Structure 1
């Protein structure tokens, strides 16, 4: 098919449909009938382009136009509460659930690197000497590490932690546009930093303080980062190996999935920030603080497994309903 000739012949129809869609609130009866007719014709055009051309830009443009016209024709405007409920019971958990191999692998690699670095630092005085002088290290392990959690008011500290964690997760999400290639390096940097602190604290005999302070918030906080990293790398891999579907369609679907995860993790990291701001520095016994952290992680995993598995069984992918590039065109 000559795409240029096809576009030239049908552009007036598309432009007219675009015009009617924009005037949806002010259409006359005749214009409504015309809009329905044009919607059916442009849907057919979209079907033809998909089957005869690999022009992703043209397919995307017609898909968007057909989707908007369909919304006008059917009047399918879901209530806001329904969209909100769908997001938390379908869109977010199913994407996290479907990506579990990626983020579990990311977490396992992260903790392995952190453990190796911690052992390396703890067992090598020369490495510690490169990190700082004995007095500087003593200041870190005896004061700075613990004081970090209590030097600011809990509310402002919780906000600061949330912003910092959201930034790390956002980096992983953003790197998805580069096929996820930089994500392992971002994880390595954070794992190495955690390992250095763990090595210094354990070598000084303060490993119990380290675990007591890092575990309550760290479990769910790091899991959120792993999810962001896993979903980002999964998107990159889907572009490299899209399977039997068009690469543009897979990229659009996975891109919307990444956005869903980014939004959902804002709430997850808010919980982590609240725990770090109010629970970690509290006077609660260490066992109680750790238990709160474990319960928060268990609640998140249980939520993802329950709603994610149910959504998978229903054939959901986490994509938006009536997504433009999967919209029926007949």
Structure 2
């Protein structure tokens, strides 16, 4: 069958199913499961005969949405919290992975701009970080402890203060997505310019490695979480700007609900980053290189796996199970 005929033959069925999923219009879980089987069959057919077609991506996304509904309405499934972290969030991240990729591109671009700006303007770092911070850091560098600023205050005080601040940044980044994503981009811009200029400052002073092995002990999870939170904000903005076949308000409600789930998923990583900054980073200069680098690799590996690799594994498992 030609692709055009395949789409024409099934288009109304897909749109009807999508509308029911989107508006939570399935009263009978068995009816939903039955429709889901038909959808998976169509997906398998499209993957076989039209592997490079956009219809494959569309059916993949629709199947992911349907699976989430089935998973939530299965009568025998009582562990809602486990299913949220184990299945629901990864499926959402797979479905909206483009927003995560875009957030990382924006993050990399702005961070690079921050570093280049610091390299070409001797006063740029001071204008971004402030004279007091720069002067104190220079004193710390001369004293042989570039990241001594992270040793100020008590362990618990640092942990709580840093965590609360990072949570505020993440929530604000998401909420400001309501302005078509512009607010989210602005928050990301502020943090990335600071990060780029900050790291270049240490490079210029000849203590780049010392800063990396200290700062990124907590920074791997902290910065990665901020990028994921920005992706949630961009998703919220896109739901308003591009409602598709739904009303703008319905699209916004769906975007807000989905974005909040992504935002909540970052909280454990934000807490972990705060704990590391409050209790571990302050001892980085006492650690052997293998230990500090090991912590960085492990923390970065965990959060990278959860958001960039595990979603594909969950999606693959679901598709495979549905074909059995």
1:290 to 276, 290, 293: 293
Structure 2 residue 85 is the aligned partner of structure 1 residue 82: no
CA distance in 2 between partners of 1:153 and 1:252 (Å): 42
Greater Cα shift, 188-197 or 132-141: 132-141
> Radius of gyration: which is bigger?
1
Q: Give the whole-Å Cα distance in 1 for the aligned partners of 2:315 and 2:130.
A: 54
> Is 1:177–2:178 an aligned residue pair?
yes
State whether residues 240 and 251 of structure 2, in contact with CA within 8 Å, keep that contact through their aligned partners in structure 1: yes
Match of 1:95 in 2: 92
Q: CA deviation at 1:129?
A: 7.0
SS at match of 1:148: helix
Structure 2 distance, partners of 1:84, 1:136, is 42
CA distance in 2, matches of 1:135, 1:85: 46
Provide Cα deviations, 1:83-113, integer angstroms capped at 9, x if missing partner. Answer: 1111111222222333332223322322332
**Shift in Å at residue 232 of structure 1?**
1.4
Name stretches of at least 5 consecutive residues in structure 2 with no aligned partner. Answer: 1-15, 17-22, 29-72, 320-324
Please name the residue that 1:119 is paired with: 116
Aligned pairs for 1:1-330 (under 5 A) are: 82-127=79-124, 137-143=134-140, 146-282=147-283, 283-305=286-308, 307-313=310-316, 314=318
Matches of 1:126 and 1:307 in 2, distance apart?
43
Relative distance call for 1:184 and 1:305 in structure 2 (3 A) is: closer
Structure 1's 97 and 270: CA in aligned 2 closer, same or farther, altered over 3 A? farther
Offset of residue 185 of structure 1: 0.8
Kept in 1, the 8 Å contact 2:236–2:252? The answer is yes
Matches of 1:264 and 1:140 in 2, distance apart?
34
Contact 2:217/2:276 (CA < 8 Å) preserved in 1? yes
Give 1:231 deviation, angstroms.
1.7
The alpha-carbon distance between structure 1 residues 147 and 89, as it changes in their structure 2 partners (threshold 3 A), is: same
In 1, the alpha carbon distance for the partners of 2:303 and 2:129 equals: 38
Using the size of structure 1 for normalisation, the TM-score is 0.64
Residues of 2 paired with 1:226 and 1:128: CA distance?
22
Distance 1:78 1:170, change over 3 A: farther
User: Does the 8 Å contact 1:157/1:277 carry over to 2?
Assistant: yes
Q: Shift in Å at residue 310 of structure 1?
A: 4.6
For the 8 Å contact 2:93–2:311, the answer to whether it is kept is yes
Give 1:303 shift: 2.8
Deviates more, 1:280-289 or 1:124-133: 124-133
Deviates more, 1:140-149 or 1:223-232: 140-149
**Residues 158 and 277, structure 1, Cα contact 8 Å, conserved in 2:** yes
TM-score after normalising by structure 2 = 0.65
The CA distance in 1 between the partners of 2:166 and 2:243, in whole Å, is 31
Higher relative contact order (CA 8 A, sep 6+): 1
How many pairs were matched up?
249
Q: Deviations over 1:150-187 (max 9, x none)?
A: 11222321222211111111111111333322111111
